Amino acid sequence: MQTSRRTMGTALAVLTMAALTSCGSGSEPAADGTVTLSFLVDNSQATLDTAKVLADTFTKGNPAIRVEVETRPGGTEGDNIVKTRLSTGDMSDVFWYNSGSLLQALNPAQTMVDLTGDPVLKNVQKDYLPVVTQGGRVYGVPAGTALGGGILYNRKVYEKLGLKAPTTWAEFTANNDKIKADGTTPVISTFKDTWTSQLFVLGDYYNVQAAVPDFARDYTAGTATFATTPAAQAGFEHLAEVHAKGHLNEGFGSATSEQGLKMLVEGKGAHYPMLSAMLPPLLKDYPQAATDIGFFGIPGTDPAKNGTTIWEPPGIYIAKSTEHPDAAKKFLAYIASPAAADAVNKVVQPAGPYRIEGARLPDDAIQVAKDLQAYIDKGATAPALEFLSPIKGPALEQITVAVGSGLTPPAEGAAQYDKDVAKQAKQLGLEGW
Amino acid sequence: MKNLRRAGAEAAALAVAAAVFLVPFSFMLLTAVKDDKQAADLDFSWPTSWPVVKNVIEVVSARDYVLLRAYVNSTVLTVASVALIVVCAAMAGYVLQRRAGRIGTLANFLVLSGLIIPPAIVPTIWLLQALGLFKTLPGLILVEVAFGLSYAVLLFRAFIAAIPRELDEAAMIDGCGGLTLFFRVIFPLLKPVTITVILTQSVAIFNDFVNPLYFLPGDDNATVQVTLYNFQSQYSTQWNLLFMDIVLITIPPLLAFVFFNRKIVAGMTAGAVKG
Amino acid sequence: MTGHRPDTRDAGPRSAGSGLPARRAHATRARRKTGPAYPYALYLPAALVYTVIFLVPTAMAFYFALTRWTLFDSEFVGLDNFRDFLAEQNLSIGFRNTVVYAVVTSALKVVIGLGLGVLLTSKLRLRGFLRSLVFFPVLVSTVAVGITFSVLLKPDTGLVDKALALVGISGPDWLGDASTALLSVALVDVWKGVGLATVIYIAGILSIPTDYYQAVAVDGGGAWHRFRHVTLPLSWPATYSVIILSFIGGLRSFDLIWTMTRGGPGFTSDVIASIIYKQYQAGFYGLSTAGNVLLFVVVTAIVVPLNWFLGRRQVSP
């Protein structure tokens, strides 16, 4: 009996040993003094490409510091992993994450290295800092470029039908009717990737702000809501309208963003409400996307106030749990430098302007980036609501799918979203909710 | 006439079953061996070219051979967890079935709770951290054991119900008691249901992707299902590679199945059915 | 450890740590003499792992269900989370879907599993091959099945719709259309899980003594008679196992729904588990834990009476 127990114990010990030896931890400093930084990014192609270039070119200039890129799933699933790892003190040294409202939920004061006043921020444009700031302290540097959220359109289709980029929603609808009459899908929707359904609402914020300048402040305070602000509810109405008019592609409910982009580039669809950043990874397979695809902001009611909503670049942050804060800061300083922007340009076409002083778009920038730059030069842009307010309801993407599929009337969708927002504000523990 | 009709019905049933079950698998296999252009059509067609080796190499070498590391991790995870589950659950199921009483009632309740209550991720992580087991394979093994115990205990309990108590009594007269009785006499008799538990649990653990995602994060530690999950976005335009990945990671459970095939029904006959 | 009475011949050594169970064992022994043959120590390894890794975190979670919890800090809010979760706008859809999903999947698994079980125990050429074929989906991971069927169920270009087009039916957008999404996932679930039900039925049918069939043959009963009066009633234990396993599975089902539709389009294929998961993803940890507690209550409230009802039938078939 004793022996059989001992055998079992030995067997277990052997198993445990085998298990232990098969996984190593990677952050120990090596004998020769080189330091390895782990760098967590989401697994979208554009991010991964950018991160790899940053890591490689940085190590070339700093041979004593190696950067290992680690990936995580994107979307809310990724948010969760980031939160769990931060709260359990198990974050990678450096990580790539959204700026704006999503950053607030990470409790940066407790989990990230404070960069306020640090030379790391030397090249970062001042107007970027608010989206990586909490409680007056700055925590990140911009990753990649700012992007436009609006309508990507196929310029070949426009040329063929003699259309011009609309400045009001009525013009947009008229264009859609003509495109449909020609046998092309006017508006591409890809609700399998639910996040893509939010563009009509989130991308409309420039128009909301044009009509109600204080919306963001009042919304954060809980006094303005989507359902009671006609300009804010318009986004939901647009969504319902394109569906009701039959302007959507067939099978929009199970289409993916990848299919949507393909439709757009091949000219099977004319418009795709989307973020401009989705375009560059496509260039490898469809080089014509660089010139054929243009961008315009979601049109509002007043042609004189035509403009677009932009998304600030995500941030790159240092986890407080890092053992190599100095190496990490060196890496961040490099990321926020014109040299890094140039290196990235060679691999990933920028989809919008940089937030780094001295970093420029290359001369052969893609059409989408040029169109976006034109809005910025005109001063006709507003950041998306999530960069002005810490509150973003998590269920928006499901609500917009329901409204955009004709399952929920727009007014009801807006009201549902207000409830969702209230829930988020309460969970964030904001004042006055 | 009757025989003919019967043969006809049989043939029809066969055809339907073959279509329903065979077609999806052939689809996976065919897509996995196509070139990326043809695979993008996602239709059910014969491959025009056969870049099998190239696809395999591309999938295996992706991201620094993460798939190979994942195979090692998954194998260690599955073998160790299943071994622990079998030993723990067989002992617990045995006492649970043989010995009523307040502790038995409590244990019964806990076993059912284990089936019903969804696990709490974050407190589990804290606990593993406190034990120094977070982000380690042993930690994940314990997690899989804890989550898999209930089901295995139920199967063992049901099977043991069919073993006559007279056997225990005879063994006791021969001087066996307690642990000896269990390991010398009862455990060898549990072979059929043990095989069922091994098969169902190893498939469940090998195919699990939620727990590794939370309790063993990081590319170094990936298990095969996590690689598939990550490849989903990486290969969003290369369906042949995505399906090759699916085919490659389905091979180990397939082998296990071929190995245990004949024993499954025997285990079920003895175990689950007598519930 | 003082209670070893020679008449029970409990000579086996006990682990030193089993003092408490041994005392209990002593009390039990007064009632039944077989006690020491079944030492509670055998529970120890299972109980240890289960308590540390499952029970303790679960107990902690029950506390956090009463807090506003951001992972970084928590604040006691009483029953607010339960109120908020119950006020969740789509909870009623989710609840209905959960029940529909569990009923549809377990009913189909019973019917198809029984049918295949009968078919695959009859004298059929290719029987072995078919058994393997039907069981094979059980071995494939949910993620892989989800990816494959998302492709097969694509509108127009997917294999299923193409096959339907051959017979002149224009198939719907299975996963993208609100009216078909949940049922499509349920059918894939059946496809993946029916192999297990079939194996359970095969085992059940094989364990029916052949005398019964001979008796029917003597009476001159046909195939239907044989099925109706022997196979069906005597495979009841198998039916019981299939129902309980697939019903609990169905009520808690989450991964397949999540991989295939994420509860969409909109909220139309949400089940309770996916609503809980969405709260979790949004970072509402207290809220999602409260949802878990409620799900536990719901499943218990449905499964325990069902188990009792089915179990009673099982005693007197």
Q: What CATH number has the domain bearing residue B123? A: 1.10.3720.10
Is B272 in contact with B158 (CB distance < 8 Å)? yes
Higher pLDDT, B101 or A54: A54
In a domain, B158, yes or no: yes
Q: Apex CA A38: angle with CA A35 and CA A43, to 5°?
A: 155
| Nearest to B226, CA basis, from B36, B28, B63 | B63
- Sign of torsion, CA B19 C181 B233 A93? negative
- Residue B227 is predicted with a pLDDT of 81
Structure tokens at A1: 């009996």
DSSP SS3 for C196: helix
Helices (H), chain B: 2-32, 36-39, 52-98, 102-116, 121-130, 137-161, 165-173, 178-180, 187-189, 191-207, 210-215, 224-234, 239-270
Q: Does B18 sit within 8 Å of C133, measured CB to CB?
A: yes
- pLDDT-wise least confident of A73-77, A98-102, B112-116, C303-307: A73-77
Which helix (H) or strand (E) element contains residue A261? helix A257-265
Distance, C-alpha C222 to centroid of its chain: 35
Q: Where residue C8 falls among pLDDT bands split at 50, 70, 90?
A: very low
Is C137 in contact with C195 (CB distance < 8 Å)? yes
Q: Please tell me the total number of residues recorded for chain B in this structure.
A: 275
Calpha distance A194→C281 (Å, rounded): 15
Nearest CA in chain C to A189: C176
**DSSP 8-state assignment for residue A248:** B
Residue with tokens 């409590």: B106
Calpha distance A20→B159 (Å, rounded): 35
pLDDT in tens, A3-22: 344 444 444 443 333 333 33
Same domain, A295 and A400: yes
Nearest to C176 among A84, A254, A429 (CB): A254
Calpha distance A112→A98 (Å, rounded): 14
- Sign of torsion, CA C287 C291 C294 C300? negative
- Residue C99 is predicted with a pLDDT of 92
- Chain C segment 150-179 residues within 8 A of B by beta carbon are 151-152, 154, 157-159, 162
Give percent of chain C with pLDDT exceeding 90: 16
Calpha distance C97→C266 (Å, rounded): 13
Count contacts between A and B (CB, < 8 Å): 79
With contacts defined as CB-CB under 8 Å, which chain A residues touch C267?
398, 402
Residue with tokens 């929009």: A252
* Cβ-defined contacts of B106-109 (< 8 Å, 24+): B107/C43
By CB atoms closer than 10 A (0-12, 13-18, 19+), residue A68 is middle
Chain C: closest CA distance from residue B202 (Å): 10
Q: Where residue B234 falls among pLDDT bands split at 50, 70, 90?
A: low
Nearest to B22 among C36, C46, C133 (CB): C133
Q: Is C248 left (phi over 0), alpha (psi -120 to 50) or beta?
A: alpha
Q: What is the dihedral of CA A219, A221, A223, A227, to 10 degrees?
A: 30
Instruction: Over range A276-289, report the average pLDDT.
Output: 86
Chain C: closest CA distance from residue A109 (Å): 11
Distance, C-alpha C280 to centroid of its chain: 22
Calpha distance C218→C222 (Å, rounded): 10
In a domain, B243, yes or no: yes
Higher pLDDT, C101 or C276: C101
Subunits with at least 3 CB pairs below 8 A relative to chain B? Answer: A, C
**DSSP 8-state assignment for residue C276:** H
Higher pLDDT, C93 or B256: C93
Q: Does B136 sit within 8 Å of A20, measured CB to CB?
A: yes
- Residue C13 is predicted with a pLDDT of 35
Same domain, A184 and A48: no
Give percent of chain B with pLDDT exceeding 90: 15
Number of domains in chain B: 1
In a domain, A71, yes or no: yes
Calpha distance C271→C269 (Å, rounded): 6
Calpha distance A355→B75 (Å, rounded): 47
Q: Where residue A328 falls among pLDDT bands split at 50, 70, 90?
A: very high
Chain B: closest CA distance from residue C48 (Å): 9
Query: Rounded to 5 degrees, what are φ and ψ at A151?
Result: -110, 120
DSSP SS3 for A316: strand
Instruction: Over range A231-244, report the average pLDDT.
Output: 95
Structure tokens at C114: 């029984």
Same domain, A122 and A210: no
Q: Is A225 left (phi over 0), alpha (psi -120 to 50) or beta?
A: beta
- Enumerate the β-bridge partners of residue A67: A37
What's the whole-number average pLDDT of chain A?
87
Q: How many CB atoms lie within 10 A of CB A256?
A: 16
Architecture in CATH for domain C85-315 = Orthogonal Bundle (1.10)
By CB atoms closer than 10 A (0-12, 13-18, 19+), residue A287 is exposed
Calpha distance A368→A374 (Å, rounded): 10
Instruction: Over range C31-41, report the average pLDDT.
Output: 63
In a domain, B91, yes or no: yes
In a domain, A182, yes or no: yes
Structure tokens at A417: 């979203």
Q: How far lies C289's CA from each of A174, A274, B97, in Å? A: 49, 34, 33
Helix crossing, B52-98 with B137-161: angle to 10°?
50
Same domain, A132 and A208: no
Is C260 in contact with C150 (CB distance < 8 Å)? yes
Among A3, A17, A70, A71, the residue to mutate for chain B (most B Cβ within 10 A): A71
Judged by a CB distance cut-off of 8 A, whether residue A4 touches chain B is yes
**DSSP 8-state assignment for residue A73:** -
Q: Which residue range is the domain that position B141 belongs to?
A: 61-274
Q: Does C267 sit within 8 Å of A398, measured CB to CB?
A: yes
| Nearest to A271, CA basis, from A379, A174, A406, A401 | A174
Spell out a b/e string for C118-147, using b for 16 or more CB atoms within 10 Å of the CB, else e. bbbbeeeeeeeebbbbbbbbbbbbbbbbbb
Whether complex ipTM tops 0.85: no
Same domain, A87 and A51: yes
In a domain, B4, yes or no: no
pLDDT in tens, C262-297: 887 888 899 988 888 888 778 788 888 888 888 888
| Nearest to C105, CA basis, from C202, C203, C249 | C249
Q: Apex CA B33: angle with CA B29 and CA B38, to 5°?
A: 110
CATH of the domain at A386: 3.40.190.10
Is A190 in contact with A271 (CB distance < 8 Å)? no
Number of domains in chain A: 2
Q: Does B95 sit within 8 Å of C39, measured CB to CB?
A: yes
Same domain, A243 and A291: yes
Calpha distance C122→A207 (Å, rounded): 70
- Residue A188 is predicted with a pLDDT of 96
State pTM to two decimals: 0.80
Q: Does B127 sit within 8 Å of C52, measured CB to CB?
A: yes
Q: Please tell me the total number of residues recorded for chain C in this structure.
A: 317
Q: How many CB atoms lie within 10 A of CB B255?
A: 11
- Residue B271 is predicted with a pLDDT of 52
Q: How far lies C254's CA from each of A361, B25, B124, C124, C260, in Å? A: 45, 23, 20, 37, 10
The answer, yes or no, to whether residue A98 has pLDDT greater than 50, is yes
CATH 1.10.3720.10 residue spans of chain C? 85-315
What's the whole-number average pLDDT of chain C?
80
Same domain, A301 and A335: no
In a domain, B214, yes or no: yes
Same domain, A199 and A158: yes
With contacts defined as CB-CB under 8 Å, which chain C residues touch A420?
89
| Nearest to B226, CA basis, from C280, A68, C143, A92 | C143
Nearest to A15 among B80, B125, B214 (CB): B80
Of the segments A38-42, B129-133, C21-25, which one has the largest average pLDDT value? Answer: A38-42
Nearest to C173 among A80, A253, A423 (CB): A253
Q: Please tell me the total number of residues recorded for chain A in this structure.
A: 433
DSSP secondary structure letters along B65-119: HHHHHHHHHHHHHHHHHHHHHHHHHHHHHHHHHH--SHHHHHHHHHHHHHHHSPP
Higher pLDDT, B157 or A245: A245
In a domain, B235, yes or no: yes
The answer, yes or no, to whether residue B236 has pLDDT greater than 70, is no
Q: Which residue range is the domain that position A416 belongs to?
A: 147-311+370-428
Spell out a b/e string for C242-279, using b for 16 or more CB atoms within 10 Å of the CB, else e. bbbbbbbbbbbbbbbbbbbbbbbbbbbbbbbbbbbbbb
In a domain, B40, yes or no: no
CA count, 13 A, side-chain hemisphere, C136: 23
Q: Does C153 sit within 8 Å of A254, measured CB to CB?
A: yes
Is A20 in contact with B136 (CB distance < 8 Å)? yes
With contacts defined as CB-CB under 8 Å, which chain A residues touch C73?
107
- Residue A1 is predicted with a pLDDT of 36
In a domain, B262, yes or no: yes
- Enumerate the β-bridge partners of residue A94: A39, A318
Chain B: closest CA distance from residue A96 (Å): 15
